[in-house]
Amino acid sequence: MSEIVWQKDNVRIVRFGTRTPWPPSHANAYLIDDEVVTLVDTGLCLDESIQMIEDYLNSRKLRIHRIVITHGHIDHYGAVGAFRERYPSAVVLCHKADADKLTRKVSEGIEEASETMREFFTSQGVPETAVHMSGEMLRILDGVVCPVYDIEFLKGGEVLESGAIKLKVVHVPGHSPGQVVLYDEKHGILFSGDHVLSKKPPTPLIEMTGEGKFFNNIIHYVDSLHYVRNFKVQLVLPGHWRTFEDLSTKVDALLKYYEMKKWETKNVLEKAGRPMNAYEIARALFPEMPEGVFFIGVSEAIGYLSLLEKDGEVVADKTSHPVLYHLV
C-alpha cells in the first residue's frame, strides 16, 4: 500500500504501509522524492515491503541517497541493512541513543542485556517464567531484521536538506531514548515517527541504554510532548496509520490520557489497600495482558508510577524484593 501524501511542483512525499506481523499490522516508511532522495524509516526486512518501495524507485528511476531512522524499534529500522546493500553510497542516520540497535540482530541485544534485564524485571515482580518466555519470543524476530554497521549519529538540531524539503532534526526522547522527529517549518510538515500517532497512544517502553542504565520513558515522553505541541504544522506524517493535521489537539489528548492512566494506577493501589509491585499493578491495569508481552504492561505501569512519584503521591521501597510501591 502506497500513496502520495504531499506534492509541490516536482517534489513528492510518498507513504508506504509496510507489513508487520503484530498490531497495528503496518508501519509507515516515507520516501522524499526530491533532489536528495531520502527514505524515512524502512519497515521490517520483508521482501514484499522492500519490493513495494523498490517498485516506486524504479518507476521514477531513482536511487536512495539518505536513510533516516526515527527511532530504534525494529518495525521502523528492520530493513535498513537491505536498503544499504542495494544503495551502498546511501548515508544512514539515527540518533546515537538508538543507533546500536541497528547494528545487531535482536537475539544479540538480548544476549548482551539478558542478565541485567532479568534482574530488573524480576525486581519488579515479574515471574522468571514470563521473562524467559518473552526472551524466546523476541529471538524469533531475528528473521525480520537486516542490520547495518556504518551509521552517522544524530544528536538533534541538524538540518537535513533534500532540496525543497529542509528537515530540522528534533530529539524527543520518550517512545525510545533516541526518538527524533523531522520538522520542515517552511512547509509545515512533521515526520513524527511514533512520538505522536493518530489513533492510539504510543507505548513508552522501559529500555536499557548503552551505559547499562534504565531509561524511564514516560517521564521524558510527557516532557517531549509539551515541547512539540506548538510547532506550526499543517501535516503530520506518523509512524503508523494515516497522516493527520491537528498536532496540538492530538498532543492535548495524549497528555490527558497519561494523566488519566496515572490516576487509574493510584486507584489500583487505593483499592488494594497495601503496597504492590509493578507486575501486580500491570496485571490490574491490563488484565488481558499475555505473559509473553508482560514488558509492555509493566513498562507502562512503571511509567505511571514514576509520574505519581514525581507528584509526591507514591514512594518506591527499593529495599524490598520485589520493589514495592506505597501510597504517600
Q: Is there a contact between 47 and 154 (Cβ–Cβ < 8 Å)?
A: no
Same domain, 28 and 126: no
| 105: its cell numbers | 540482530
pTM: 0.93
Tell me the average pLDDT of the chain.
Answer: 91
Same domain, 13 and 81: yes
| 224: its cell numbers | 517531549
Same domain, 100 and 123: no
Query: Which tens digits make up the pLDDT trace of 129-180?
Result: 777 766 666 667 778 999 999 999 999 999 999 999 999 999 999 999 999 9
What's phi and psi for 132, nearest 5 deg? -65, -45
Asked, for residue 250, whether it belongs to a domain, the answer is: no
Asked, for residue 252, whether it belongs to a domain, the answer is: no
Q: Report d(CA 281, CA 268) in Å as an integer.
A: 7
Q: Report d(CA 247, CA 181) in Å as an integer.
A: 13
Same domain, 169 and 310: no
Among candidate residues 245, 274, 308, the one where a domain is terminated: 245
pLDDT (0 to 100) of residue 114 = 64
pLDDT (0 to 100) of residue 283 = 93
Which stretch, 87-101, 132-146, 293-307, has highest mean pLDDT? 87-101
pLDDT (0 to 100) of residue 159 = 98
> Across residues 57-80, what is the average pLDDT?
97
Among candidate residues 196, 219, 245, the one where a domain is terminated: 245
Same domain, 125 and 15: no
pLDDT (0 to 100) of residue 257 = 94
pLDDT (0 to 100) of residue 64 = 98
Please, which pLDDT band fits residue 79 given cuts at 50, 70 and 90? very high
> Across residues 267-280, what is the average pLDDT?
96
pLDDT (0 to 100) of residue 117 = 77
Q: Which residue has the higher pLDDT, 66 or 21?
A: 66
Q: Tell me what percent of the residues of the chain surpass a pLDDT of 90.
A: 75
pLDDT (0 to 100) of residue 209 = 62
Same domain, 125 and 36: no
CATH number at residue 175: 3.60.15.10
Q: Report d(CA 282, CA 277) in Å as an integer.
A: 9
Give the total number of structural domains in the chain: 2
Same domain, 238 and 209: yes
Q: Which residue bears the cell 516506486?
A: 56
Q: Which residues sit opposite 314 in a β-bridge? A: 327
Asked, for residue 168, whether it belongs to a domain, the answer is: yes
pLDDT (0 to 100) of residue 93 = 98
User: What domain range is 48 assigned to?
Assistant: 2-105+146-245
